C-alpha cells in the first residue's frame, strides 16, 4: 500500500500483520487501521476511533485506493460506524424503550431493531441490539447496547471513482447525522 502512496511513509505506520490469498488480502497497521480487499469489496477500518471519524485516516485511505484503481466498476460506497452504549440491564432497557406491554413481553429475552432511512442515492441502515464488550474501564466483558450504522450510497455511471471519493468525503456529515439520530432514538 505504501508503494502506491495509499498509506504514505510519512505516517510512520508499521505493518503488524498481512494475509494475502487470491480471494482475500488483509493488511493491519500498528495504528489500528486495517485494509481488507475481497473480489467485490474494499473495507478500511479504524479500531482506535472513539469520538467519530475526525482524526481517522479511513476516508483518506479508501479515497487514495479508489484513485489508484479508477478503472474498477464501483457499485456502492459506505460509511459505517459502531457505538457501544452503557446502560443498566441493556436487554430490559431496549424492551422497555421499543415494546408495548403485552403477553409477548414476559418470556422475551431481548429486543433488537433495524431502522432504514432514505439517503440521496442510497439508504442508512441503523441496527440496535445488545451484546457484550470489553470496555476500557472494566476488567471483563460487560453487557452493552451495540449500535451499527451503514450509510450506503449507490454509484452512477462508470468510471465512478470520483463519486466514490465524494461519498467517502461525507464521513463527518454522516457521523453527525448518526450521533443526532442515535441520541434521539435512545433518549
21 in any annotated domain: yes
Of 65-74, 106-115, 157-166, the least confident = 157-166
Q: Is the pLDDT of residue 1 over 70?
A: no
80 in any annotated domain: yes
Q: Do 134 and 141 touch, CB atoms closer than 8 A? A: yes
3 in any annotated domain: no
158 in any annotated domain: yes
1 in any annotated domain: no
The burial class, CB within 10 Å (0-12 / 13-18 / 19+), for 160 is: buried
Q: How many domains does the chain have?
A: 1
Q: Label the pairing between strands 76-85 and 15-21.
A: unpaired
2 in any annotated domain: no
**pTM higher than 0.75, yes or no?**
yes
Beta-carbon contacts of 16 under 8 Å, excluding residues fewer than 6 positions away, are 28, 29, 30
Distance of alpha carbon 52 from alpha carbon 144, whole angstroms: 19
Q: What's the pLDDT at 93?
A: 93
Q: pLDDT-based confidence at 29, cuts 50/70/90?
A: very high
Distance of alpha carbon 113 from alpha carbon 128, whole angstroms: 5
71 in any annotated domain: yes
Distance of alpha carbon 172 from alpha carbon 24, whole angstroms: 29
165 in any annotated domain: yes
Compute CA distances 78 → 45, 126, 130, 171, 186, whole Å: 12, 13, 23, 9, 23
Can you tell me which residue has the cell 455511471?
157
Task: Report the share of the chain in percent with pLDDT over 70.
Answer: 97
Domain range for 17 is 9-186
Amino acid at each position: 500500500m505504501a508503494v502506491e502512496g495509499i498509506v504514505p511513509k510519512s505516517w510512520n505506520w508499521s505493518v503488524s500483520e498481512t494475509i494475502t490469498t487470491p480471494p482475500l488480502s488483509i493488511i493491519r497497521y500498528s495504528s489500528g487501521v486495517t485494509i481488507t480487499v475481497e473480489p467485490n469489496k474494499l473495507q478500511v477500518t479504524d479500531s482506535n476511533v472513539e469520538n467519530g471519524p475526525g482524526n481517522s485516516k479511513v476516508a483518506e485511505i479508501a479515497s487514495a485506493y479508489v484513485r489508484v484503481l479508477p478503472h474498477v466498476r464501483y457499485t456502492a460506497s459506505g460509511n459505517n460506524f459502531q457505538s457501544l452504549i452503557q446502560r443498566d440491564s441493556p436487554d430490559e432497557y431496549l424492551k422497555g424503550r421499543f415494546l408495548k406491554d403485552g403477553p409477548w413481553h414476559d418470556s422475551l429475552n431481548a429486543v433488537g431493531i433495524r431502522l432504514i432511512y432514505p439517503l440521496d442515492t442510497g439508504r442508512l441502515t441503523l441496527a440496535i441490539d445488545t451484546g457484550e464488550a470489553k470496555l476500557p474501564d472494566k476488567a471483563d466483558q460487560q453487557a452493552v447496547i451495540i449500535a451499527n450504522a451503514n450509510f450506503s450510497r449507490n454509484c452512477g455511471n462508470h468510471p465512478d471513482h470520483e463519486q466514490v471519493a465524494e461519498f467517502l468525503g461525507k464521513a463527518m456529515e454522516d457521523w453527525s447525522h448518526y450521533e443526532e439520530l442515535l441520541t434521539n432514538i435512545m433518549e
